[in-house]
Structure 1
Amino acid sequence: MTYRLLAAATALGLIASVAVAAPHGGNAFIRDYDTNGDGQVTRAEFDAVRDVRFKATDANGDGTLDEAEYVGEYTVRLDAQLAASDLTAEKKTEERQRQVRQAHVRFGALDKNKDQRIDRAEYDTSGAAAFAEQDDDKDGVVTLADAAARRAKRAAAAK
């Protein structure tokens, strides 16, 4: 189990190092999934990162994610993001608590059959929905233009 956790941390570190170097313009989705550093995310890039992440998160290797695995993997990524942020220590603690609570809620929402596990089909369904939401022009590639269009739509709706 220790080896799998070390392998998972290493794989996630590789993903993060590629993402940090990418020209993401501050967009977290592009930062997290742009593996070739061209400033955009194809569906193939997205699926490849999600595949690595699923396998790394599945610490016991049973092909499904239990709540501890799901929340634990997210917490590792969250802690890295918070460490790099310019928030005060107090705000980091508050944000971490809020986000971890939300991760538990997300687990329950993703576990469609309510068997206390996220199987690969449930994981892939949520990924497809997330990609589709980000791809504003529905051309199969998420760009900063997609992000800008989504922000503009949200701003218009808020008026």
Structure 2
Amino acid sequence: MKINTSLSLFTAGALLSASFLAYAHNGGAPASEYDANGDGVVTAAEILAVKTADFTAADVDNSGALSLAEYLNLENTLQTRRIAAAFAKMDVDLDSNITLAEFTASAPANTAAYLTNVFKLADKNADAGVSLAEFTELQSKGANGGVWEFARLDASADQLLSLDEYTAVPAQPTAPTASAGGERGGKAGKR
């Protein structure tokens, strides 16, 4: 029997931040990143202009080509920019802090407990808010990426994993729905 947890992880992560995961045809970036004139329409010229500017900025030795180091730096820069944009979209009261209500605003009831647990784990200083630094750490590809899986396994939401929680066999999803995004691999909230 194949156990599929990627569906539940994807669903919760997709609900976390539509702006972070709702990517257009433009190579994985949010459409708003390329909408230079703010008209809601992204043209090929706008995409080319932003990608050209990003490439030029990353080409620190002005060689006209990116080395692996330059490319990795560009990827980090793009990830930082996208995380900041997702944070800004979620921070509706513009206080530079995401509250639990803002964090779970668009989540259906069946994911609220999971996202509440993720929020508590991300709120490192326990001030009832997730700062941009905490949000960045939560979304980053580094070692902190395990927060999403930890929160999923932590059924009691006590920020501790018991042996029973760790070894529990997740329920097999019946049938993916269109709103859940179908069966997709990868970890939620990660780019």
- Which TM-score applies when normalising by structure 1? 0.40
The structure with the largest strand share of the pair is 1
